[in-house]
Amino acid sequence: MKAIVLAAGYATRLYPLTIRQPKALLPIAGKPILNYIADQIVSIPQINEIMVISNHKFAPHFLEWEDQQNYRCPITIINDGTTSDKNKLGAIGDIQLALERQNIQEDVLIIAGDTYFTFSLQDFYLFYEQKQKDCFLAKEINDLSQLQRMGVIETDEQCKVTGFEEKPKQPKSNLASFAGYIYRKDTLPLFKQYLNEGGNSDAPGFFPAWLLKKKDVYAYIFHGDCFDIGTPESYHEVNEWAIQRGAG
């Protein structure tokens, strides 16, 4: 299994913090966000390579970071060639680029490189092993205003996804999707089909919403914290939160 970390965004809402530094390399309790993610990835024995997708602007930062790492599996930095928000490929475009450029022919774990979380990716993988179907992360959220800003899913008793709605005014459940996915290798050609049909390439959550109309998709409901760091204020809050809990 390969791991793909999506880190090609420009994080303009975080300016000035991310003018000269990619969001994934911002420190939380003195340690880059990307290292927390990589630590979780390598806890899955089946992962044999970590691929980090960067834009052209920040590719040197990630290459420098990679030189300093000593994980049990190799790290590959993929430069998607984009230079700004205006010509970015979007998350789905970046995934397709990685699939083609690296000729990936095995199952993949895909996760956003800009979130700080405390749940176990190994538990997510064990859920996938049990289901043997495409899976993505979800969490119970009981704040209506927060649900209205997210992708909200419905599931049956076996956690099979039966419905998906992006930013609903009236959510049909309290389950929100998060940017972490495990796709079977036979699903990978569908990324190209999705893009050829004009699918939105920007956010990674659009693809599973399209996919569940074609295949069974399951949601792993995690327990733990997951922070989407979107503003300088939220970054400082998460950093303080992590320091107080002895992270790092």
Q: Per 3-state DSSP, what percentage of the chain is helix, strand, and coil (rounded to 5)?
A: 35, 25, 40
Higher-pLDDT residue of 115 and 123 is: 123
Higher-pLDDT residue of 93 and 165 is: 93
Q: Are 238 and 228 in contact (CB under 8 A)?
A: no
State how far the Cα of 41 lies from the Cα of 116, in Å rounded to an integer: 13
| Residue 248 scores a pLDDT above 70 | no
Please count the other Cβ atoms lying within 10 Å of the Cβ belonging to residue 84: 11
The model's pLDDT over 233-243, given as tens digits with 9 standing for 90+, comes to: 989 999 999 99
32-53 average pLDDT score: 97
State how far the Cα of 145 lies from the Cα of 157, in Å rounded to an integer: 26
State how far the Cα of 113 lies from the Cα of 38, in Å rounded to an integer: 9
123-141 average pLDDT score: 96
20-27 average pLDDT score: 95
Strand pairing report for 134-140 and 175-183 = antiparallel
- Specify the pTM: 0.94
214-220 average pLDDT score: 95
- pLDDT of 183 reads 97
122-132 average pLDDT score: 96
β-pair partners for 3 = 50, 109
Structure tokens at 135: 């899976």
State how far the Cα of 83 lies from the Cα of 36, in Å rounded to an integer: 26
State how far the Cα of 140 lies from the Cα of 42, in Å rounded to an integer: 26
188-193 average pLDDT score: 96
Amino acid in the structure at residue 130: Q
- pLDDT of 232 reads 92
Q: Are 73 and 47 in contact (CB under 8 A)?
A: yes
Q: Are 22 and 236 in contact (CB under 8 A)?
A: no
β-pair partners for 239 = none
The model's pLDDT over 44-91, given as tens digits with 9 standing for 90+, comes to: 999 999 999 999 999 999 999 999 999 999 999 999 999 988 889 999
Q: Which residue has the tokens 């899955």?
A: 44
Local confidence band at 1 (pLDDT 50, 70, 90 cut-offs): very high
Superfamily of domain 2-123+179-244: Spore Coat Polysaccharide Biosynthesis Protein SpsA; Chain A (3.90.550.10)
| Residue 230 scores a pLDDT above 90 | no
- DSSP 3-state assignment of 115? strand
β-pair partners for 78 = 53
